[in-house]
C-alpha cells in the first residue's frame, strides 16, 4: 500500500502535469467534461470521426485504487472499432468461464460461459485495471490532432444560450470561458454538471458494504470468475475472486451494513479474509484495500438541450454484473455517431432524442439486472433467503434451476427492439438471423472479421451478393466478395442469395430483407438517420 496519494486521499497511478491555460479562444464542436473511461472513449470516437473535441478533466492524474476491472465482449468490440480493443485484450486477463460455489462444497453449483457463440474476434470478458485501460485510451486520444485533452481543468459552471453552451473552467492559474455547441457530461457519479443544472438521480440505494482487497500474489490459478455464496471464510455473506494482469488479484467480500469502514481496511483486519479464501500459508502483498457501497439509479432524462449525460453521471449500478463502465461505453457507442451527424448537419438534432431513448433502455436493463442480482446476493427477508438457498441446493443436480442462480448477470449488449430508427418488414420477417434493434454478431471472413468491416464509421449495407441494389453514398459489403469461409455469417444472419442487412455505425441492425429493392433500403437508411 505504497501508492502516492493526492490531497484528497485518492491514490495516483500516473501523474499528468497540469495543462497550461489556453492562450486563445477555443474553437471546438464538442466539449467533454471528464476524462474517465467514458469521456476518453467518447473523445476517441468523435475524434476519429473528425470532430474538434475538447476534454476537460478536473484531475491532473490517472487514479489508481480499486474501480472497474471486468470489461465485456461488447465493450471490447466497441474499443476494437476505436482501434484500442486488441491492446486491451493483449494486456488484460482473458476469461470466458464463471463458477459459482455454495458453502463449503468444493464443486461449483453452477458454471457459465460468457462466449457461448464461438469464432468471434473478441473474447467473452477481460480483466484489466481501469487505470490501465484509461492509460491506453489517453495514448490513443493524444495521437489525434483534432482532440485537446486538458488536465487539472475543472468545469465550475454551465449555462445554455440559444445556440451554444458556456462553460467556466477553473485552473491553478485562474478561470477562463469556453463556448461550444455541445457539452457531454462524463463527470462521474457525483457529476458536478448534473448538480449545477439542478438535476438528480431516481432509484434505489442499497444498504450493504463490500470490502475490496486488491492484492499481489504469484499463484497459478485458472483465469475464471469464482463466486461464493455463504463460504466458510465469510459465513452468511458472499465473496468473489478475479485475476488481474501483473499478478494482481481482486478479492471482494460482502460485509453487511453499519460497519466501521476505517477499521475494515486495516491490513490486520483484511488479512484473515484473504487467508480464509486462499489458504493460511498464502504469501501476498496488499495493493489497495477499500470499502464500497452502491446505488442503482439513473437520471430521468440524459439529454438536456445542449448538455448530454453519459456514463456514471447518467446512471449507476452495483458492481455485480460489471455493468457500470460497460454501460457507459455503450452510451458512447450510441451517442458518438449521432452527435457526429448532428454536428455535421447531416441529421436533425432530433436524432439525439433517440440517444436519450436507447441509452435509457440500456440503463434500465442494467439497473434491473443489477438490482435483481443484489436482491439474490443479499436477501433482505427470510423468504428471499429461503428461495435463494433452495435455488442453490437444486442447481447442483437440476439444470432447470441453474438459470435462477444469480451471482451477477454479466454485462452483454442490450437490444432496442422498439427503436424508432429500425425498419421492420413484417411480411418478410426472417425465421433466423438478427432482428432490427439487435447488435450485429461477429463471424470470420476470408481475411479478418465481420464486425471490423461493419465498424468503419458509417452505415453499411451487408449484402449476401451483388444482386442487392446499390444505394448512392451507402457502403455495400458484399459477402460473396469478402468471403464466408465457414458459412457462419450466412448462418448467424440467416442470409440467403439476394438478402441484406442495413447496419448502423454502432453495429446495430437497422433493417433486414430477404430481397430488398433500392427504395426500401433508402427509406430504411433515412429512417435510421432520424428521418420520420
User: Contact residues for ligand FAD (CB under 6 A)?
Assistant: 33-39, 56-59, 66-70, 130, 154-155, 186-188, 192, 212, 292, 311-312, 319, 322, 324-326, 328
Minimum CB separation from ligand FAD for residue 252, in Å? Answer: 8
Q: Among residues 55 and 528, whose Cβ is nearest to ligand FAD?
A: 55
Q: Among residues 327 and 530, whose Cβ is nearest to ligand FAD?
A: 327
Distance CA 53, CA 56 (A): 10
Minimum CB separation from ligand FAD for residue 16, in Å? Answer: 11
Distance CA 276, CA 289 (A): 16
Minimum CB separation from ligand FAD for residue 389, in Å? Answer: 27
Minimum CB separation from ligand FAD for residue 356, in Å? Answer: 17
Q: Among residues 203 and 498, whose Cβ is nearest to ligand FAD?
A: 203
Contacts of 220 (CB under 8 A, 6+ apart): none
Q: Among residues 35 and 276, whose Cβ is nearest to ligand FAD?
A: 35
CB 181, CB 53: distance < 8 Å:
no
Q: Among residues 33 and 464, whose Cβ is nearest to ligand FAD?
A: 33
Buried/exposed code over 505-520 (b: 16+ C-beta within 10 A; e: otherwise): bbbbbbbbbbebeeeb
CB 324, CB 186: distance < 8 Å:
no
Dihedral of alpha carbons 328, 407, 256, 128, sign = negative
Minimum CB separation from ligand FAD for residue 362, in Å? Answer: 13
Q: Give the three cell numbers for residue 193.
A: 454538471
Taking Cα atoms as reference points, which of 480, 473, 486 lies closest to residue 499? 480
Q: Give the three cell numbers for residue 409.
A: 448477470
Minimum CB separation from ligand FAD for residue 175, in Å? Answer: 12
Q: Among residues 316 and 529, whose Cβ is nearest to ligand FAD?
A: 316
Distance CA 469, CA 494 (A): 19
Taking Cα atoms as reference points, which of 69, 100, 114, 124 lies closest to residue 248? 69
CA 417 centroid distance within chain = 20
Q: Among residues 311 and 505, whose Cβ is nearest to ligand FAD?
A: 311
Reported as half-sphere exposure (CB side, CA atoms, 13 A), residue 58 has a value of: 18
Q: Among residues 98 and 328, whose Cβ is nearest to ligand FAD?
A: 328
Number of residue whose CB is nearest ligand FAD: 36
CB 303, CB 353: distance < 8 Å:
yes
Coil vs helix vs strand at 500: strand
Q: Among residues 56 and 462, whose Cβ is nearest to ligand FAD?
A: 56
Distance CA 15, CA 480 (A): 51
CB 71, CB 322: distance < 8 Å:
yes
Distance CA 62, CA 515 (A): 52
Q: Among residues 241 and 528, whose Cβ is nearest to ligand FAD?
A: 241
Minimum CB separation from ligand FAD for residue 323, in Å? Answer: 6
Quote the radius of gyration of the chain (alpha carbons, Å).
Answer: 24
Contacts of 76 (CB under 8 A, 6+ apart): 85, 88, 89, 122, 123, 126
Distance CA 423, CA 426 (A): 9
Minimum CB separation from ligand FAD for residue 46, in Å? Answer: 15
Q: Among residues 322 and 477, whose Cβ is nearest to ligand FAD?
A: 322
Minimum CB separation from ligand FAD for residue 30, in Å? Answer: 14
Contacts of 180 (CB under 8 A, 6+ apart): 26, 28, 29, 30, 31, 54, 164, 165, 167
Amino acid at each position: 500500500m505504497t501508492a502516492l496519494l493526492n490531497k484528497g486521499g485518492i491514490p495516483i497511478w500516473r501523474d499528468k502535469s497540469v495543462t497550461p491555460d489556453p492562450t486563445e479562444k477555443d474553437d471546438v464542436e464538442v466539449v467533454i467534461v471528464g476524462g474517465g473511461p467514458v469521456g476518453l472513449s467518447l473523445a476517441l470516437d468523435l475524434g476519429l470521426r473528425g470532430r474538434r473535441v475538447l476534454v476537460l478533466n478536473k484531475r491532473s492524474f490517472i487514479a489508481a485504487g480499486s474501480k472497474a476491472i471486468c470489461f465485456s465482449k461488447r465493450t471490447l468490440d466497441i474499443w476494437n472499432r476505436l482501434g484500442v480493443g486488441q491492446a486491451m485484450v493483449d494486456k488484460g486477463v482473458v476469461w470466458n468461464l464463471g463458477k459459482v460455489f455454495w458453502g463449503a462444497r468444493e464443486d461449483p453449483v453452477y458454471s457459465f460461459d460468457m462466449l457461448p457463440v464461438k469464432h468471434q474476434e473478441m473474447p467473452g470478458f477481460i480483466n484489466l485495471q481501469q487505470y490501465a485501460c484509461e492509460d491506453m485510451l489517453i495514448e490513443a486520444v493524444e495521437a489525434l490532432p483534432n482532440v485537446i485533452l486538458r488536465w487539472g481543468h475543472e468545469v465550475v459552471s454551465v449555462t445554455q444560450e440559444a445556440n451554444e453552451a458556456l462553460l467556466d473552467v477553473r485552473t491553478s492559474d485562474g478561470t477562463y470561458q469556453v463556448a461550444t455547441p455541445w457539452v457531454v457530461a462524463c463527470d462521474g457519479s457525483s457529476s458536478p454538471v448534473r448538480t449545477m443544472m439542478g438535476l438528480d438521480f431516481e432509484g434505489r440505494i442499497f444498504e450493504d458494504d463490500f470490502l475490496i482487497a486488491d492484492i499481489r500474489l504469484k499463484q497459478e490459478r485458472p483465469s475464471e470468475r469464482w463466486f461464493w455464496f455463504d463460504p466458510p471464510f465469510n459465513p452468511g455473506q458472499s465473496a468473489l475472486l478475479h485475476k488481474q494482469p501483473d499478478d494482481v488479484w481482486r478479492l471482494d467480500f460482502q460485509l453487511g451494513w453499519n460497519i466501521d469502514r476505517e477499521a475494515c481496511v486495516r491490513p490486520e483486519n483484511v488479512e484473515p479474509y484473504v487467508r480464509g479464501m486462499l489458504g493460511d500459508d498464502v504469501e501476498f502483498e496488499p495493493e489497495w484495500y477499500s470499502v464500497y457501497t452502491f446505488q442503482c439509479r439513473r437520471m430521468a432524462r440524459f439529454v438536456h438541450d445542449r448538455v448530454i449525460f453519459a456514463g456514471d453521471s447518467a446512471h449507476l449500478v452495483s458492481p455485480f454484473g460489471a455493468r457500470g463502465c460497460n454501460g457507459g461505453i455503450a452510451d458512447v457507442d450510441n451517442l458518438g455517431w449521432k452527435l457526429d451527424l448532428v454536428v455535421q448537419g447531416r441529421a436533425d438534432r432530433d436524432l439525439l432524442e433517440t440517444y436519450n431513448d436507447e441509452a435509457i433502455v440500456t440503463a434500465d436493463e442494467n439497473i434491473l439486472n443489477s438490482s435483481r442480482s443484489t436482491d439474490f446476493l443479499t436477501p433482505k427477508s427470510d423468504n428471499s433467503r429461503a428461495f435463494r438457498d433452495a435455488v442453490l441446493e437444486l442447481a447442483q443436480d437440476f439444470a432447470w434451476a441453474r438459470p435462477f442462480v444469480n451471482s451477477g448477470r454479466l454485462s452483454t449488449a442490450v437490444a432496442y427492439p422498439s427503436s424508432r430508427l429500425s425498419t421492420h418488414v413484417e411480411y418478410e420477417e426472417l425465421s433466423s438471423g438478427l432482428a432490427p434493434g439487435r447488435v450485429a454478431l461477429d463471424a470470420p471472413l476470408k481475411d479478418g472479421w465481420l464486425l471490423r468491416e461493419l465498424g468503419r464509421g458509417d452505415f453499411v449495407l451487408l449484402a449476401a451478393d451483388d444482386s442487392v441494389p446499390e444505394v448512392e453514398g451507402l457502403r455495400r459489403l458484399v459477402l460473396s466478395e469478402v468471403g464466408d469461409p465457414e458459412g457462419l455469417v450466412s448462418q448467424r444472419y440467416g442470409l440467403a442469395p439476394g438478402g441484406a442487412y442495413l447496419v448502423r455505425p454502432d453495429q446495430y441492425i437497422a433493417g433486414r430483407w430477404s430481397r430488398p429493392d433500392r427504395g426500401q433500403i433508402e427509406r430504411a437508411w433515412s429512417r435510421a438517420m432520424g428521418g420520420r
